[in-house]
Amino acid sequence: MAEIKNVLVLGTGLMGNGIGQVALMAGYNVILVDIVEEALNKAVADIEEGLKKLEAKGKLGEGETASSVIAKCSKSTDLASAVKNADIVIEAVIEKMSVKKDVCKTTMDNGPAHIIFASNTSTMSITEIGKDCGASERVCGMHFFNPVPLMRCIEVIKSADTSDDTFNTAMDVANKLPCLRGKRYIAPVLKDRPGFIVNRMNAPVQIYMSYLFDKAAEQGITWEQIDADGGSLMPMGPCELTDYVGLDTMHHVMEYYAETLSPDFKPGKVISEMVAAGNLGRKTGKGFFDWSGGRPKIDKSKKAGIFNLENTMAILLNEGCRILEEGVATGFKTIDDANMAGMNTPGPFSAGKKNYEKWAGLLEKLADETGKEYLKPCELMKSGGFVKMRK
């Protein structure tokens, strides 16, 4: 395993910024690279400001100051020359396959013979990114959650070509990156499948949500009533949460899984029409609710009686079991732990061990009601076989 001293963070937008900060805090020499000079300058300024705050709170390492940490940071707009001094590239450029493939090849063509290329993509195949770079065994995924310094989870992904050595080195680097809120959790992702673990497990809940939105629109049920169904167990009901995340994001994610997992993910009428009208939720001031005056006040006194939180737990358990069936993870503890570290909510397995038979029944009914085959329980869920797959 090559010793990693110099980490090149490529693409210094929202994610690269956070990755740069934690890599510096881990003691690595960090080279920030972006094609946009202002993005680089902003990243350095933001990282420095973050480090100063930590220094003031006494949260930097023994004898370290914001200036001593930032002194290990350099920047460049030229990947081909900067990569000559790097041991690993962690890539957070825009989510476009041609750009990812391009920077991966530039890394392999110009970097030292041991260099590793780790992609932070959320939706792209790591195998495809590395396919034409000439050293696909040294390409893997390293998927962070936003904001990087605060979210504990990092998924490290093995592509069809990633070597054990590359994977182990990336796991080791990920483990060294500090988290400001609790202990980092590194989830090994053993197969390059859409959504990896955390995003994948949560994805099919959107099939259910989209169905409910359409049903409510047809039956004259208000959005407030759907959110009232969520009750006090949900800090935000389904409609408010969708507004908060952004309807365009939900639409985009559903289209992605419709292509990669099942056509049942196709976004429904309500979501599609709202996106077409430019009502994207919080970011545009209007979605299901009016956000122009801040967080909307939602009257939850009248329930619709159509949304059942237990259905979402069943959907999560089913998708978690599919992740196990496909060999993306070997045990359910990894999946539950990754969900907690990546979403700040418990995964479904702990409750699912006791409830899987009942929940499989709920899913059979839900699949019939919605006409969405994808919601049917998989074999591993129905049989309860996952219970034995802890680690």
Compute φ and ψ for 225, nearest 5 degrees. -65, -40
Contact flag: residue 39 with ligand NAI (CB under 6 A)? yes
Residue 74: CB minimum distance to ligand NAI, A:
15
Q: Based on the residue annotation, tell me whether 355 is a catalytic residue of this protein.
A: no
- Interacting residue with ligand NAI among 28, 34, 83, 170 (CB under 6 A): 34
Options 6, 91, 119, 155, the catalytic residue = 155
As a whole number of angstroms, the distance between CA 203 and CA 156 comes to 19
x-or-dash pattern for ligand NAI, window 142-181, by CB under 6 A? Answer: --x-x-----------------------------------
Smallest CA-to-CA distance from 43 within 54, 53, 30 is with 30
As a whole number of angstroms, the distance between CA 336 and CA 317 comes to 10
Residue 283: CB minimum distance to ligand NAI, A:
13
- What residues contact residue 368 under an 8 Å CB cut-off, 6+ apart? none
Q: Tell which phi-psi region holds residue 140, choosing left (phi > 0), alpha (psi between -120 and 50) or beta.
A: beta
Contact flag: residue 106 with ligand NAI (CB under 6 A)? no
Contact flag: residue 13 with ligand NAI (CB under 6 A)? yes
Contact flag: residue 120 with ligand NAI (CB under 6 A)? yes
How many Cα atoms within 13 Å fall on the side-chain side of residue 331? 8
Closer to ligand NAI by CB, 33 or 203: give it. Answer: 33
Strand order in the sheet with 153-157: 73-76, 29-33, 6-10, 88-91, 116-119, 139-144, 153-157, 185-189
Q: Based on the residue annotation, tell me whether 326 is a catalytic residue of this protein.
A: no
- Interacting residue with ligand NAI among 6, 7, 8, 12 (CB under 6 A): 12
Query: Which tokens sit at 178?
Result: 């500090």
Residue 40: CB minimum distance to ligand NAI, A:
8
Select the span of 93-101, 251-259, 281-289, 333-341 touching ligand NAI (CB under 6 A): 93-101
The 10 Å Cβ neighbour count of residue 321 is 29
Q: Based on the residue annotation, tell me whether 155 is a catalytic residue of this protein.
A: yes
Closer to ligand NAI by CB, 260 or 308: give it. Answer: 260
Query: Which tokens sit at 85?
Result: 């001094």
Query: Which positions lie near ligand NAI, rule CB under 6 A?
Result: 10-16, 33-36, 39, 92-95, 99, 103, 120-122, 144, 146
Residues known to be catalytic: 122, 143, 155, 199
